[in-house]
Every structure is written in structure tokens, then in C-alpha cells.
């Protein structure tokens, strides 16, 4: 089996909790296999720390197949590391070289406070969804699914927006810590579908208000979010959200 | 033979559910407002139930260990969700979905539950579309379907290779809506550590706030566990790293029977293990078997590249052995066939523990169709492959990308290497027709219960069952219980039962911290996984199972004397979380082996080598084993067997054949 031959230096952010200050701590790793995922490399580090009687590095992760959105490492200055369209758990060590020094930090944003080490609190995202990221249809109220044909192009566009995994890389990479890519992806998914029309303008107002209340920054169109999004969510969604938000002021009779 | 009552309503199979729904006792709206329901788990089964019960007016508390309910592992389901819509006009019906599921489950599921599942399947699709779930559509704007294993109709609805994600985000949005309205109190990063029982009824839980380590007491008139499967008992599986059996196991220790624990689904198409560092296995969706052909070389130990092996030297062994279903045989059959070829020396790749999944033939076929649409007659092979690749990319792009990312190989050019891996557990807490466990007031939904898939689950049926339970079954059946509880006032959590349950939970945490041994939690988990995979995996025999039981007992003793858990219990401590889960997995592992040893037959995912036909197919024993094995926990990690007889009144039980 493949024990590898890569030697690495890690500089990892260690912080006991949200009340204490943190710092980068150096660790040496040897015999890393290029077939390991980035998180498996962290498993090796943690096993090493536990065997030495130290506390392991705490980091968020769960599915390890790139879909749950839980993993969240800021690697060498980029969320989810050097590869495009890949989450940290799907990043493999073959993307690094023997002898590399790798700096690993948590997501940094006022709205995502550090919980411990590399783990942050992203519950602000849930509160934005709770403010309007849904269609108000109770269980049992639905008509036959095929009674509402939806053009394939439109359904596909909604799906592309819906592919967001809510990891927060867009916020972490934005110099303003703006959440507009995340928020606009959900708004777009529902705005593109006929089912989403009745609440379309109410939704955009509620979600944007909650986004602001959470302390996320504004968008200055640098496009870093789109470039770093592991799921390729498009900036067009932000344009659509802005359009709907502006329209809401004229079209909607409701002010939320 | 049964010594437990499954509470199946009387009457014709096709009328049972309708009659039940229209006669079940109701709870009036003003009473609902004072009835509290605890839901543990926020996957398809938990989130859908939490949202629906809150919509109905109950006071709901929902718990998940992740940082958001949207992360539950339902999110990773790829291929699709079955529903008997018959949109393809290919002869599908409620009965056929019912029949396929019973047969696919190797005649070890309860008829009444499965028929109900088939009945509500169509409602699920309607509900999800109404929520804005972007399921795949055809150009006419109508919903598209694909085929899955074990069926001869196209009834699987999908959203690219991310169906679970889209369905979960639908349920999550419904849940968040109720949270926003204040009707559900959500507790993220909380882990349930105990069930609280008062006068024999489930009345709440003890949960640990994973951030602060605080132990909390929560009251509920009823408790629902939608906590998923226990595949991680094998260490390596397609489950998420955090997926665990702890909630279900604590319930088991408080009197909930655990049913058919040995029924494990080994999924045939996963990316093979690459080294000792491996922390989890990744599934390649069963939908790939629609268009991929599975083969190995005809020659033993053939070390040529796939592209160098000519057509007539390839053994398409599924098509050869099962001409009627070919590559679309059920999962248990496909997995065993792959193991058989590899064990016989025909495996591929460096480990020789892999077979090929090859898309070339179908890519070319799609290319021809596309060429024809574009008016290109007699297209050359290169054109066909180019056009066909675009079609394959649209259908399975994310899966192909994931494969390339993990293996470093390009699956558009060389066939994928795949091998079976632990994926799903059909066993789980025993529930009656109402989804209530053997503890009154304690319910169990989704993968965590045992109810609908018998000894083998068909592809695209897990999403169906999770949402059926949460949206359409539990919200009705729980009323039968809660309607009798309306006079019960919320019980204060200083009640002795809460105190005692909290002491049990805290005792375990403190013990784990204070062992201060020499080996990490993962060390023990890996060893447990190894025992389980070797001796209670794809094939089992009495000798191996007896050895496994002895080895697991020894491992348990070693764990409790030598595990090392750094840090303290009053902070975020991921090692402590894992330690508690592995402690429960070790006990469960033993029960799985005991159950596998007790079931002297082969059925579905349970393959006992002593019981097979001459052709190597599973050999059931319907005279002696047509029952659900429901195990009761006894002091000192002992187990007592109870049997629920399975009666097949609407289906003729037969040797399963996919030939």
C-alpha cells in the first residue's frame, strides 16, 4: 500500500476558542502519499499529535466527497486550496510538491466567527435561508408534478444555481466578506422557476435584509467569489439578485 | 411464531393505508400547539418530518451534529429517487414498485409497509417539485426518468448526479421556513447521548452541545430518530465521517429492538481503496450502470491496459450471467459477482481488487444519435466519440470529474476502476407499521429504521423511503399516539428520569476522558472495521463469524482500557465525540455478527457461504427464516432474539432470478 515520500511543512492556525487569540503553528510531516486527500493528510497530522499527547487540530468536514459543504480550509491564501472547482476534501496531495510549505487558516469574516482552530460558525447562512430562501408550500399541497411544464433551459439554469453547497468560500475570499454569491444563488434558483414567482420580490427583500443584518459586506464586483467557488456558481446570479432587488421597490406592493 | 406485534391494519393490502389515514385519531389544532416533538437528525427523514409536523402545528425541536441541517449525509445521494408515476408509459404502477421492492429485498420486508411506500411515492415527486427542487427535465418541459438496478421500468427521477443534494435542500428550505416562523427550534452541533424514559414512554433526550460541551435536557411528548445508517461500523464506507449509530444504539439500550443488523448493502460501484491512509470510500452512482458496461479480462492476471485488451478477450460477466437484467442487476448480486471475479484472479488495477466500468460503447451510440440529429450521415468513429462524450458529460459530468479528482485518471479516456464498498444498512431499529419502536413514543424513520428494504435495498429507494416517512407517513401515524397524550403537560426536566439519564451520559464521557490510554480512537475504529469487512462483509461463514465475535469482545475490553482521548469534556472535542461513537459501533459490530451467525440462510446483502446454489446465488430458507430478527439489549452487552413472522399474502415468494 502507498506510504508516500512527500515531506511537508504546515503552518496551521491554532485557536482554543472564540475568546482567545490564535496563532500559526508549524508542523513537519513526512511520508505523505500524493494519493491522499488534503484532509487525510490532516488525519495523519492529528494521529501524530495524539500520539505525542497533544490536542489534534479541529476542522470541519463530513462527507469527504465534495457535496456537504462542511470542509472549509483557507490554503495558501485560497479557500479550498490551489485547484479550481474543488473542495478541500477533494483536493489531493498530488496538487502539491515534496518540500512545500502550506499555510492553512480558517475562513475569515466578521459574520463567520472562529469557533476553534480551523472551525468557524456559518450559522448566518442558515438564518439568511430562514428569512426567505424557500417556497411557501406545506406538505400535501402539491399538484401533479407534470402539470407544470418548465422549459429545460430554465430548469437547467435553476439547477446550476441550486448546486451551491453553502460552504462559504465566496465569503472567505471576498475582500468585503460579502455573501452575495451565496444569497443570489438561492434567490436565482427560485426566481428562475415558475413555482418561485408568487414570493419572488418579497423573498429578495427579506433575504437581502437578513444578509445585511448578519454583517456581511457589500459587493464591489471583483469576481473573486466566482473564481473560488468550488461549484462554479456564476456572478450572473448577483446581477439577477440586484435586478430583482431594484425591481422589488417598484413592482412589489409589499415592503419587507 | 411472532412474539412482537407489528400493528398492521386489517383489510386488503391496497386499502390498508387509505383506511388507516381516514380512521386514525386526530389532534385538534389548539392541542397541537402544546404538544412537543423532538426530532433527532436533519437528513431527508428528519428534516421532512420536522418541517411537516411544524406545519401541522406541533412544537418541534430538531437536532443535528453538523453545523447546519443542510449538511446531513442525504446530501451525498447521487443517482435518483423512485416513484411509481408511470410518466414513461412503460407499464409502471404502484403494484409494480411494491413488487420490485419486495423482490429486490429478497422477500425479507413487510408487505404492508412496502405497499404504503409505493403508494406515497408519487406524492413525494409532486411535493418536491412544488418546493422548487430542480429535477431533470426533457425539452418538452416534463420530468425526465432514468433506469436503476432491479427494475425493468424507468421510474427514477433525478437532478444530474446530485439528486440527494437537491431533495435535501428542498426539505431543508421547508425546515428553515418553519425555523424562521419560530415553529421549529433548531439545535445544530448537538449530539443526542441518551433517550429519557418516564413510565416506559420516551419523554425526551439528553444532548451535548458540541461547542461548549454542556449537557442539555430536552422534553418531548414523543421522540423521533431520523439518524441514518450505521455503515461506518466498517470504518471505510461511503458514509460521511460523522455518520454514526449512537442515537439508535442508546435507544436500543433503553429497550428499542434492533432489527436485522446483519443486512448491509455493499454497493458495487465505488472507487477502489488506494492506500492505508484512506478515510472513506466514494460511490460512483448506480445510474452509471445505465450506460456503463462492466467487464474484466477473460485471461487471469492480465496486466495489459484496458485499451489494449480486444473486445473478444473481455468478459462482460454480468451480461453473461444475467442476460435479462445485465448490468442492471440489484446491488447485492452485482457486488458478489465482482468479488467472485476478483477472488478468482481476474481483477484489474494494481491491487487486483477492481473491475472495469466502461462507457465507450454507449458514448459511441450517443454520438451516432447526436450526429444523426445534426444531419451528419455515416459519421466516423472520432466524430461519434466527440459528440457522445458531450452527452455523457451532461448526464454524469460531476461524477466523472469526481473520479478524475480522486484517482488522477481521465474516465472519458480509460474505463473507470470500481469495486464494492459498504454503502447502506437495511437493518436498523425495529418499528411497527406506525414507525414506532418497541419503546412507546419513540419513533424511527429513514435509514435508521429497518422497515422497507428487506435484505437488500434497490437503488433510488433510500431517498424515496426517507421522504415518504418524513412527509407522508410519520405525520399521520404519530397522531395515533399523540392524540392520547393531549392531557400530558410538559414534564419539567428536573424529573429524576432526566437526572438519571444525564448521569449515564456524563459517566460515559468522563470514563472516556479518564482512560488516558496509548492508542487513538481511529486506531480502534480501523481494527473494528477490518474485522467486520473480513468476517461480516460481502460473504460470511459460521467459523469467521465466531472468530469475529471473540475478536470484537477482546477489542471492546482493550478500547475501554487503552483509548486515548485528549482534551476535556467541557469544550469542542472531536476526539471525544468519535470515542463515544466508536464505543457504540464496537457493541453494534458484535450484534451484527451474532445476527449473521443466527441467520442460517443467504438473502440479499446477507450472504452465508454455506448457503448458496450450485451457481453461487443466495439460497434462502423460507421455512425457517422468513422473519424479522428483532434483538433486545440485555445487561452486559447480551442480546435476546424476538421474531416477527413475515407473511406474504399478495406476492408469490420465489427464488429471486435476474437471468
- Give the residue with greater pLDDT, B92 vs B615: B92
Q: A residues 171-200 near B, CB within 8 Å?
A: 189-190, 193, 195-196
Q: Average pLDDT, stretch A12-41?
A: 96
* Confidence (pLDDT) at B117: 98
How far is Cα B322 from Cα B535, in angstroms, rounded to an integer? Answer: 27
Q: How is residue A54 annotated by DSSP? A: P
Confidence check: pLDDT of B315 > 70:
yes
Model confidence pLDDT, tens digit, residues A112-125: 999 999 999 999 99
Directed axis angle between helix B94-104 and helix B111-130, to 10°? 120
**Nearest by Cα to B46 from B161, B193, B192, B150:** B192
Model confidence pLDDT, tens digit, residues B595-653: 999 999 999 999 999 999 998 889 999 999 999 999 999 999 999 999 999 999 999 99
**CB-based contact B475 A139, cutoff 8 Å:** yes
Residue numbers in B near A162 (CB within 8 A)? 133-134, 159, 166, 169
> Is residue B521 in a domain?
yes
The answer on B388 and B286 residing in a single domain is yes
* Confidence (pLDDT) at B192: 98
Select from A51, A68, A116, A157 the residue whose CB has the most chain B CBs within 10 Å, as the one to mutate to test that interface. Answer: A68
**Which of A60, A65, A122 comes nearest B282 by C-beta?**
A65
The answer on B385 and B526 residing in a single domain is no
Residue in B closest to A1 by C-alpha: B275
> Is residue B65 in a domain?
no
Q: A residues 31-70 near B, CB within 8 Å?
A: 33, 35-37, 39-40, 43-44, 47, 50-51, 53-56, 58, 60-70
Rg (CA), chain B: 24
Residue in A closest to B165 by C-alpha: A67
Q: Are B265 and B457 in contact (CB under 8 A)?
A: yes
Q: Average pLDDT, stretch B404-431?
A: 95
For residue B279, the domain's CATH number is 3.90.700.10
Confidence check: pLDDT of A255 > 80:
no
* Confidence (pLDDT) at A256: 66
Chain A touched by B162 (CB under 8 Å): yes
Q: How many structural domains are present in chain B?
A: 2
> Where residue B160 falls among pLDDT bands split at 50, 70, 90?
confident
How far is Cα B306 from Cα B294, in angstroms, rounded to an integer? Answer: 12
Residue numbers in A near B278 (CB within 8 A)? 40
Quote the percentage of chain A above a pLDDT of 90: 95
Query: What's the domain range around B556?
Result: 506-626
Model confidence pLDDT, tens digit, residues A146-178: 999 999 999 999 999 999 999 999 999 999 999
**Which of B166, B241, B575 comes nearest A64 by C-beta?**
B241
Model confidence pLDDT, tens digit, residues B41-81: 999 999 999 999 999 999 999 999 999 999 999 999 988 99
Q: Average pLDDT, stretch B414-440?
A: 97
Distances (CA, A) of B576 to B231, B446, B521, B583: 20, 27, 9, 11
> Is residue B574 in a domain?
yes
> Is residue B354 in a domain?
yes
Model confidence pLDDT, tens digit, residues B457-479: 999 999 999 999 999 999 999 99
> Is residue B378 in a domain?
yes
**CB-based contact B130 A122, cutoff 8 Å:** no
Q: What is this structure's pTM?
A: 0.97
For residue B566, the domain's CATH number is 1.20.58.100
User: What ranges in A8-138 are assigned the alpha helix state H?
Assistant: 38-51, 123-130
Q: How far is A71 from chain B (nearest CA, A)?
A: 10
Model confidence pLDDT, tens digit, residues B176-192: 999 999 999 999 999 99
Chain A touched by B163 (CB under 8 Å): no
**Nearest by Cα to B544 from B554, B534, B529, B557:** B534
The answer on B511 and B418 residing in a single domain is no
* Confidence (pLDDT) at B115: 98
Show the CA angle centred on residue B364, arms to residues B145 and B386, nearest 5°: 100
DSSP labels for B487-546?
Answer: TPPPPPTTSHHHHHHHHHHHHHHHHHHHH--SB-HHHHHHHHHHHHHHHSSSSB-HHHHH
* Confidence (pLDDT) at A78: 98
Q: How do strand B184-187 and strand B59-63 relate by DSSP bridges?
A: parallel
Q: Average pLDDT, stretch B523-550?
A: 97
Q: Are B44 and B55 in contact (CB under 8 A)?
A: no
- Give the residue with greater pLDDT, B1 vs A209: A209
How far is Cα B281 from Cα B238, in angstroms, rounded to an integer? Answer: 5
Bridge partner list, B425: B264
Average pLDDT in chain B = 96
Q: How is residue B610 annotated by DSSP? A: T
C-alpha cell at B204: 425526551
Residue in A closest to B160 by C-alpha: A159
Q: A residues 208-247 near B, CB within 8 Å?
A: none
> Is residue B632 in a domain?
no
* Confidence (pLDDT) at B1: 63
How far is Cα A54 from Cα A256, in angstroms, rounded to an integer? Answer: 51
How far is Cα B274 from Cα B598, in angstroms, rounded to an integer? Answer: 34
CB atoms under 10 Å from CB of B624, counted, come to 11
> Is residue B275 in a domain?
yes
The answer on B414 and B289 residing in a single domain is yes
Chain B touched by A84 (CB under 8 Å): no
Chain B touched by A80 (CB under 8 Å): no
**CB-based contact A92 B406, cutoff 8 Å:** yes
**CB-based contact A65 B186, cutoff 8 Å:** no
Last residue of a domain, one of B422, B439, B472: B422
Q: Are B548 and B531 in contact (CB under 8 A)?
A: yes
> Where residue A251 falls among pLDDT bands split at 50, 70, 90?
confident
Residue numbers in A near B132 (CB within 8 A)? 134-135, 158, 189-190, 193, 195-196
* Confidence (pLDDT) at A2: 47
Quote the percentage of chain A above a pLDDT of 70: 97
User: What ranges in B563-645 are assigned the alpha helix state H?
Assistant: 574-598, 622-625
**Which of B176, B211, B278 comes nearest A129 by C-beta?**
B176
Residue in B closest to A207 by C-alpha: B180
- Give the residue with greater pLDDT, B285 vs B237: B237
Q: Average pLDDT, stretch A73-81?
A: 98
Chain B touched by A23 (CB under 8 Å): no
Model confidence pLDDT, tens digit, residues B164-221: 999 999 999 999 999 999 999 999 999 999 999 999 999 999 999 999 999 999 999 9
Chain B touched by A256 (CB under 8 Å): no
Active site (annotated) includes residue B504: no
Last residue of a domain, one of B406, B422, B438: B422
- Max mean pLDDT among B2-11, B287-296, B432-441 falls in B432-441
H and E: helices and strands count for chain A: 8, 7
* Confidence (pLDDT) at B3: 80
The answer on B414 and B282 residing in a single domain is yes
Last residue of a domain, one of B403, B422, B441: B422
B582 contacts: CB under 8 Å, gap ≥ 6: B521, B524, B525, B528, B559
The answer on B393 and B511 residing in a single domain is no
How far is Cα B78 from Cα B301, in angstroms, rounded to an integer? Answer: 33
The answer on B548 and B411 residing in a single domain is no
Q: Average pLDDT, stretch A23-32?
A: 97
Select from B71, B520, B567 the residue whose CB has the most chain A CBs within 10 Å, as the one to mutate to test that interface. Answer: B71
The answer on B531 and B392 residing in a single domain is no
* Confidence (pLDDT) at A1: 38
How far is Cα B248 from Cα B225, in angstroms, rounded to an integer? Answer: 7
* Confidence (pLDDT) at B161: 86
How far is Cα B201 from Cα B385, in angstroms, rounded to an integer? Answer: 63
Model confidence pLDDT, tens digit, residues B17-37: 999 999 999 999 999 999 999
Q: How far is A186 from chain B (nearest CA, A)?
A: 10
Q: Could you give all domains of chain A from N- to C-terminal order, each with its CATH number?
A: 6-116 (3.10.20.30), 122-251 (1.10.1060.10)
User: What ranges in B408-495 are assigned the alpha helix state H?
Assistant: 462-467, 474-482
The answer on B537 and B408 residing in a single domain is no
The answer on B523 and B414 residing in a single domain is no
Chain B touched by A137 (CB under 8 Å): yes
Confidence check: pLDDT of B587 > 50:
yes
Residue numbers in A near B241 (CB within 8 A)? 61-64
> Where residue B516 falls among pLDDT bands split at 50, 70, 90?
very high
Residue in B closest to A138 by C-alpha: B55
Q: How do strand B59-63 and strand B36-40 relate by DSSP bridges?
A: parallel
**CB-based contact B127 A190, cutoff 8 Å:** no
The answer on B417 and B287 residing in a single domain is yes
**CB-based contact B67 A86, cutoff 8 Å:** no
> Is residue B219 in a domain?
no
Residue in B closest to A206 by C-alpha: B180
- Give the residue with greater pLDDT, B226 vs B146: B226
Model confidence pLDDT, tens digit, residues B548-571: 999 999 999 999 999 999 999 999
Chain B touched by A12 (CB under 8 Å): no
Q: How far is B308 from chain A (nearest CA, A)?
A: 25
Cα-to-chain-centroid distance, residue A8: 26
**Which of B314, B331, B457, B556 is the catalytic position?**
B331
Confidence check: pLDDT of B310 > 50:
yes
Residue numbers in B near A36 (CB within 8 A)? 275, 277
Residue numbers in B near A47 (CB within 8 A)? 520, 522
The answer on B520 and B410 residing in a single domain is no
Amino acid at each position: 500500500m502507498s506510504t508516500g515520500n512527500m515531506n511537508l511543512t504546515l503552518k496551521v492556525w491554532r485557536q482554543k476558542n472564540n475568546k482567545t487569540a490564535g496563532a500559526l503553528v508549524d508542523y513537519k510531516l513526512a511520508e505523505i502519499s500524493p494519493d491522499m486527500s488534503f484532509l487525510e493528510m490532516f488525519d495523519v497530522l492529528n494521529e501524530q499529535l495524539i500520539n505525542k499527547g497533544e490536542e489534534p487540530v479541529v476542522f470541519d468536514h463530513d462527507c469527504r466527497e465534495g457535496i456537504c459543504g462542511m470542509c472549509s480550509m483557507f490554503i495558501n491564501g485560497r479557500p479550498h486550496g490551489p485547484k479550481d472547482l474543488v473542495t478541500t476534501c477533494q483536493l489531493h496531495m498530488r496538487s502539491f510538491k515534496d518540500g512545500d510549505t502550506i499555510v492553512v487558516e480558517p475562513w475569515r469574516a466578521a459574520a463567520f466567527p472562529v469557533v476553534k482552530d480551523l472551525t468557524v460558525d456559518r450559522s448566518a447562512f442558515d438564518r439568511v435561508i430562514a428569512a426567505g430562501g424557500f417556497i411557501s408550500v406545506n406538505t400535501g399541497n402539491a399538484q401533479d408534478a407534470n402539470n407544470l411544464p418548465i422549459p429545460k433551459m430554465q430548469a437547467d439554469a435553476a439547477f446550476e444555481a441550486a448546486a451551491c453547497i453553502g460552504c462559504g468560500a465566496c465569503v472567505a475570499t471576498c475582500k468585503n466578506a460579502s455573501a452575495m454569491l451565496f444569497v443570489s444563488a438561492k434567490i436565482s434558483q427560485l426566481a428562475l422557476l415558475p413555482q418561485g414567482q408568487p414570493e419572488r420580490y418579497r423573498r429578495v427583500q427579506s433575504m437581502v435584509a437578513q444578509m445585511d443584518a448578519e454583517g456581511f459586506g457589500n459587493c464591489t464586483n471583483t469576481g473573486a467569489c466566482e473564481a473560488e467557488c468550488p461549484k462554479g456558481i456564476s456572478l450572473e446570479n448577483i446581477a439577477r439578485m440586484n435586478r430583482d432587488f431594484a425591481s422589488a421597490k417598484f413592482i412589489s406592493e409589499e415592503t419587507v | 411464531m411472532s412474539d412482537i406485534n407489528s400493528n398492521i391494519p386489517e383489510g386488503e393490502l391496497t386499502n390498508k393505508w387509505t383506511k388507516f389515514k381516514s380512521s386514525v385519531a386526530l389532534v385538534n389544532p389548539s392541542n397541537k400547539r402544546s404538544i412537543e416533538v423532538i426530532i433527532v437528525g436533519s437528513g431527508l427523514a428528519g428534516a421532512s418530518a420536522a418541517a411537516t409536523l411544524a406545519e401541522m402545528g406541533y412544537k418541534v425541536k430538531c437536532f443535528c451534529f453538523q453545523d447546519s441541517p443542510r449538511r446531513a449525509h442525504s446530501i451525498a445521494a447521487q443517482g435518483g429517487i423512485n416513484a411509481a408515476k408511470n410518466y414513461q408509459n412503460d407499464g409502471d404502477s404502484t403494484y409494480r414498485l411494491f413488487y420490485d421492492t419486495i423482490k429486490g429485498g429478497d422477500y425479507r420486508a413487510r408487505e404492508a409497509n412496502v405497499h404504503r411506500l409505493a403508494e406515497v411515492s408519487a406524492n413525494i415527486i409532486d411535493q418536491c417539485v412544488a418546493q422548487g427542487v430542480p429535477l431533470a427535465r426533457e425539452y418538452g418541459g416534463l420530468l425526465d426518468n432514468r433506469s436503476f438496478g432491479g427494475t425493468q421500468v424507468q421510474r427514477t427521477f433525478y437532478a444530474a448526479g446530485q439528486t440527494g443534494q437537491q431533495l435535501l435542500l428542498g426539505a431543508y428550505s421547508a425546515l428553515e421556513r418553519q425555523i424562521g416562523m419560530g415553529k421549529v427550534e433548531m439545535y445544530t452541533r448537538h449530539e443526542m447521548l441518551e433517550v429519557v424514559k418516564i413510565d416506559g414512554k420516551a419523554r425526551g433526550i439528553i444532548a451535548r452541545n458540541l461547542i461548549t460541551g454542556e449537557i442539555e435536557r430536552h422534553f418531548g411528548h414523543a421522540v423521533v430518530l431520523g439518524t441514518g445508517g450505521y455503515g461506518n461500523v466498517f470504518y471505510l464506507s461511503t458514509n460521511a465521517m460523522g455518520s454514526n449509530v449512537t442515537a439508535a444504539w442508546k435507544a436500543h439500550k433503553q429497550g428499542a429492538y434492533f432489527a436485522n443488523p446483519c443486512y448491509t448493502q455493499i454497493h458495487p460501484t465505488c472507487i477502489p481503496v488506494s492506500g492505508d491512509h484512506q478515510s472513506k470510500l466514494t460511490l460512483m452512482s448506480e445510474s452509471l450502470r445505465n450506460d456503463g458496461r462492466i467487464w474484466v479480462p477473460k485471461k487471469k492476471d492480465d496486466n495489459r491496459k484496458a485499451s489494449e485488451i480486444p473486445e473478444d478477450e473481455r468478459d462482460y460477466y454480468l451480461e453473461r450471467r444475467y442476460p435479462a437484467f445485465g448490468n442492471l442487476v440489484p446491488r447485492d448480486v452485482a457486488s458478489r459477482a465482482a468479488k467472485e471475479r476478483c477472488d478468482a484472479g481476474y481483477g484489474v488495477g494494481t491491487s487486483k481488487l477492481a473491475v472495469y466500468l466502461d462507457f465507450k460503447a454507449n458514448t459511441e451510440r450517443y454520438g451516432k444519435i447526436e450526429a444523426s440529429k445534426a444531419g451528419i450521415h455515416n459519421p466516423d468513429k472520432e466524430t461519434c466519440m466527440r459528440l457522445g462524450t458531450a452527452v455523457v458529460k451532461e448526464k454524469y459530468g460531476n461524477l466523472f470529474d469526481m473520479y478524475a479528482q480522486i484517482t488522477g485518471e481521465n474516465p472519458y479516456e480509460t474505463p473507470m476502476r470500481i469495486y464494492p464498498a459498504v454503502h447502506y444498512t437495511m437493518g436498523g431499529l425495529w418499528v411497527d407499521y406506525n414507525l414506532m419502536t418497541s419503546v412507546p413514543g419513540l419513533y424511527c424513520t429513514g435509514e435508521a429504521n429497518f422497515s422497507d428494504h428487506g435484505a437488500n435495498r434497490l437503488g433510488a429507494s433510500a431517498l424515496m423511503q426517507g421522504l415518504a416517512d418524513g412527509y407522508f407517513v410519520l405525520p399521520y401515524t404519530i397522531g395515533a399516539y399523540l392524540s392520547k397524550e393531549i392531557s400530558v403537560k410538559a414534564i419539567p426536566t428536573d424529573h429524576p428520569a432526566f437526572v438519571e439519564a444525564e448521569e449515564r451520559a456524563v459517566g460515559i464521557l468522563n470514563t472516556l476522558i479518564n482512560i488516558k490510554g496509548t492508542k487513538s480512537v481511529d486506531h480502534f475504529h480501523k481494527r473494528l472495521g477490518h474485522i467486520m469487512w473480513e468476517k461480516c462483509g460481502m460473504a460470511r461463514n459460521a467459523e469467521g463469524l465466531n472468530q469475529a465475535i471473540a475478536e470484537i469482545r477482546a477489542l471492546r475490553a482493550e478500547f475501554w482500557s487503552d483509548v486515548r482521548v485528549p482534551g476535556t469534556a467541557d469544550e469542542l472535542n472531536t476526539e471525544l465525540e468519535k470515542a463515544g461513537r466508536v464505543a457504540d459501533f464496537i457493541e453494534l459490530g458484535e450484534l451484527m455478527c451474532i445476527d449473521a451467525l443466527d441467520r442460517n440462510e443467504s438473502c440479499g446483502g446477507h450472504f452465508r457461504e454455506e448457503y448458496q446454489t450450485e451457481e453461487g446465488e443466495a439460497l434462502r430458507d423460507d421455512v425457517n427464516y422468513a422473519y424479522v430478527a428483532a434483538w433486545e439489549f440485555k445487561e452486559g452487552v447480551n442480546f435476546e432474539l424476538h421474531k416477527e413472522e413475515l407473511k406474504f399474502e399478495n406476492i408469490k415468494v420465489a427464488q429471486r432470478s435476474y437471468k
